[in-house]
Structures are given as structure tokens and as C-alpha cells.
């Protein structure tokens, strides 16, 4: 009798597990892609390089980063330009990388992002990134690492928000572009 009860419980458990798996599969198979350009699932392995948008972009060398630096870059894009256009997201990624290349702010993405008094969001208690804008920021980071660059901010290591008066530090600089809510600069000395 005991053996029959165990068998019945086991069959019931397996039936519930199968039902749960079927339900999960139906939910996944009915998922629709986001209706925003440039959002694709991020595959950490080698991803194919997507075609560049119009002439405002160019292709540069691919960059290989650790998962930690990749996350720092995506977070910086999210908190600095999460609501911005794709161009704004790529511009922030490009400035961040230009700072790594320069070395003044650090020799890795995370060191640059968390350098003292550089990106205001790092001094605030921000919630964990999530949702559609987080996925768009991750995709922009992935595209940037695959070589997508923006002509307008080539060489830029500085920017500020459009809603503030240009800071004193911009005086010896050349304004390169205004993209969304940011003004980008290049230092010529």
C-alpha cells in the first residue's frame, strides 16, 4: 500500500512538473521582440556585428572587456543616457572608452566610471537597472564593444548636461556636438 501511494505521488509530481514546463515554454514562445531599434538579446559569446546605421557612425576595432567592465559600461550608459537616443548611448560609451585610452581617470572601464567626481550617478544611491531602457543600454554597450562609433564625438573625453550653464572647465575646449541632453567637448592643448 505504501509503495502505491509513493508511486501515485511521484506520478502526480511529474505531471505537475510537465505542466509547469509546458506553460513556461508557451510563455517564452509567445514573447514578442521590443519595438525599439537596436534591441537584441545580448549574447556574451561572440556576437555577429550588426550593420551600422547611416553615415553618422563608423566602425572601429572590437574591444574585449571582462564581464565586470562590461557591466560598468552598461550601467554608465543606463544612468547617464538611459532615456537618450541610441546615438546618445553610444556617445557616452565612446567618452568612457576615450577616458580609458587616455589613462588619467583609470586604466579600466570600472575605474573610469567610478573615478572621483566624474559621473554623478556613482555618488547617489541608485536602484538596480532593469527594464527596457536597461536592455537598450546593454545592447548599446555590446554594439560599442563590437566597434560602433559616432563621428560627432570622436576624441571627446568630456560632456555635461544641456540644462546647466557651461562649466569653467569647458573654456579651453571645442564643442563637438549636442546629442540629446548632453554637450560633448574636445580639449585641444
In tens, the pLDDT along 55-111 reads: 688 888 999 999 999 999 999 999 999 999 999 999 999 999 999 999 899 999 999
Angle between helices 67-81 and 86-102 (to 10 degrees): 130
**Is the pTM of the predicted complex or chain greater than 0.85?**
no
Instruction: Give me the pLDDT at residue 53, please.
Output: 52
Instruction: Give me the pLDDT at residue 39, please.
Output: 47
The pLDDT > 90 percentage for the chain reads 50
Q: How many alpha carbons fall within 13 Å on the CB side of residue 138? A: 16
Output DSSP code: residue 123: G
pLDDT band at 124 (very low <50, low <70, confident <90, very high): confident
- Tell me the pairing of strands 182-187 and 173-179: antiparallel
Decide: 170 and 158 in contact? Cβ < 8 Å. yes
3-state secondary structure of 170: helix
**Whether the predicted pLDDT of 46 surpasses 60:** no
Instruction: Give me the pLDDT at residue 25, please.
Output: 64
**Whether the predicted pLDDT of 26 surpasses 60:** yes
Distance between CA atoms of residues 105 and 118, nearest Å = 9
Amino acid at each position: 500500500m505504501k509503495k502505491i501511494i509513493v508511486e501515485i505521488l511521484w506520478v502526480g509530481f511529474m505531471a505537475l512538473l510537465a505542466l509547469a514546463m509546458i506553460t513556461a515554454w508557451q510563455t517564452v514562445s509567445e514573447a514578442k521582440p521590443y519595438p525599439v531599434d537596436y534591441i537584441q538579446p545580448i549574447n556574451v559569446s561572440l556576437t555577429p556585428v550588426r550593420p551600422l546605421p547611416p553615415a553618422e557612425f563608423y566602425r572601429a576595432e572590437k574591444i574585449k572587456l571582462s564581464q565586470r567592465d562590461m557591466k560598468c559600461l552598461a550601467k554608465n550608459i543606463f544612468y547617464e543616457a538611459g532615456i537618450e537616443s541610441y546615438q546618445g548611448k553610444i556617445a557616452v560609451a565612446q567618452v568612457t572608452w576615450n577616458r580609458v585610452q587616455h589613462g588619467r581617470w583609470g586604466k579600466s572601464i570600472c575605474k573610469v566610471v567610478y573615478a572621483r567626481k566624474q559621473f554623478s550617478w556613482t555618488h547617489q544611491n541608485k536602484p538596480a537597472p532593469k527594464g527596457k531602457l536597461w536592455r537598450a543600454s546593454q545592447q548599446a554597450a555590446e554594439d560599442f564593444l563590437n566597434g560602433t562609433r559616432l563621428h560627432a564625438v570622436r576624441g571627446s573625453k568630456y560632456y555635461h548636461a544641456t540644462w546647466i550653464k557651461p562649466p569653467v572647465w569647458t573654456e579651453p575646449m571645442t564643442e563637438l556636438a549636442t546629442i540629446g541632453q548632453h554637450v560633448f567637448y574636445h580639449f585641444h592643448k
